[in-house]
Amino acid sequence: MIGFMAQNFELIRILLLIVGLWPLQQSNLTRLQFIFMSAIMTAGIIFLMKDLLIQLQDVCNELKDKNEIAIMKEYGYIASCYTTAFTIATVCGLFGYIFMIFWPDIMHIVLPNVTQSHQLPIKMEYFIDQEKYFYWIVLYIGVIGCIGMTSMIGIGSILIMYLQCTCAMFRICSYRIRCAVNINMLENINSRKENLILEGIISAINIHRQAMKLSKLLTSKIETTMCCLIVLGVISLSLNLFQVSRVVSYGYDFIELLIPLAFVVIGILKMFIANYVTQNVTDHNNDVFATVYDVQWHVTPLQIQKVILFLLQRGAKDFTLGAGGLFVGSLECFTMLVKTSFSYFTVIYSTQ
């Protein structure tokens, strides 16, 4: 067995030793190495998000029209609703976790003759007496879970807020196009009004280009991470589905079903929300060109028509957000990922 470990885990051991995550033969130097690598990764994420948020803030500061500011606030409110929903779901999950832990004690109070042993929510090896330090272990797992969920909610909410603001920029583009073309509906079109129309169209094109630039900038910064998360998400969903099937098939305790079932629900929700938000960006970009088609651009002066035709040509090319050229954020991609996860689960289940 030692030879097997040395032969098959050597490369994994080296990779994990580099970042200080190898669980065996831990030393103070290894722990210091892990803290150092974690600090570097955290700083990288902070500087990345800082750069993106500064550019987004610059765009928002340029908005002067009260209707455009109202549009940006509306989409900011939508992003805050996402954060609130995630927080409420996490708090409910925390209370569910506490209820699950104290379920044997509750049953003992209700039915004194029925005795149930405490079960840890996650099966892993502990180097202390589990019965004696049961509640300390539970507290430890709960703290880790809270930190992980808080980090996930915080980072996810920032990304959603960022993409919601780009959606607002696309909608502002549509608003500027309508306002510019409506100037043409006024009587006595002169050179001054023609210049106003042209300035409105140009400002709409500028904010449209900025929205596309910021969206692509975000995906370019995190596409490698997103590819890894997508692959890990599919694997995790497949394995948790398999664990759920085992619990159901072999009639294990209901408590053992809750953790893998929770991971299945969370995994599917994460896939859906990520693809829904990116699909929303694509839809807002398409709405810009639908707006151009809807307005009476053909009655504008010839110079304005040439500019609008240039904008319409840009709409012939699809604008999508993806990761690594393999995954394109859309509801179709969500369906594909779920189908793939269930396919892997079916293969694993059939070969057990």
**Per-residue DSSP letters for 225-239?**
HHHHHHHHHHHHHHH
Dihedral sign of CA atoms 233, 83, 143, 42 in order: positive
Pick from 145-159, 208-222, 311-325 the range whose average pLDDT is largest: 208-222
pTM over 0.85: no
**Contact partners, residue 301, CB within 8 Å, separation at least 6:** 184, 189, 194, 197
pLDDT band at 314 (very low <50, low <70, confident <90, very high): confident
Tokens of 62: 């340029």
For the cut 70, the answer to whether the pLDDT of residue 119 exceeds it is: no
What pairs with residue 351 in β-bridges?
A: none
What's residue 287's pLDDT? 92
For the cut 50, the answer to whether the pLDDT of residue 83 exceeds it is: yes
- Mean pLDDT, rounded, for 272-294: 91
For the cut 80, the answer to whether the pLDDT of residue 251 exceeds it is: no
For the cut 80, the answer to whether the pLDDT of residue 21 exceeds it is: no
Strands 322-323 vs 327-328: parallel, antiparallel or unpaired: antiparallel
Pick from 113-127, 213-227, 250-264, 274-288 the range whose average pLDDT is largest: 274-288
For the cut 60, the answer to whether the pLDDT of residue 6 exceeds it is: no
For the cut 50, the answer to whether the pLDDT of residue 5 exceeds it is: no
Which DSSP symbol is given to 20?
T
For the cut 50, the answer to whether the pLDDT of residue 349 exceeds it is: yes
* Mean model confidence pLDDT for the chain: 79
Which DSSP symbol is given to 24?
S
What's residue 337's pLDDT? 93
For the cut 50, the answer to whether the pLDDT of residue 1 exceeds it is: no
Helices 191-250, 134-184: axis angle to 10 degrees equals: 150
Which DSSP symbol is given to 119?
-
- Mean pLDDT, rounded, for 56-82: 91
Q: Which of 49-58, 184-193, 237-246, 260-269 shows the lowest mean pLDDT across its residues?
A: 184-193
Q: Which helix (H) or strand (E) holds 322?
A: strand 322-323
- In whole angstroms, give the CA distance from residue 227 to residue 322: 9
- In whole angstroms, give the CA distance from residue 250 to residue 322: 40
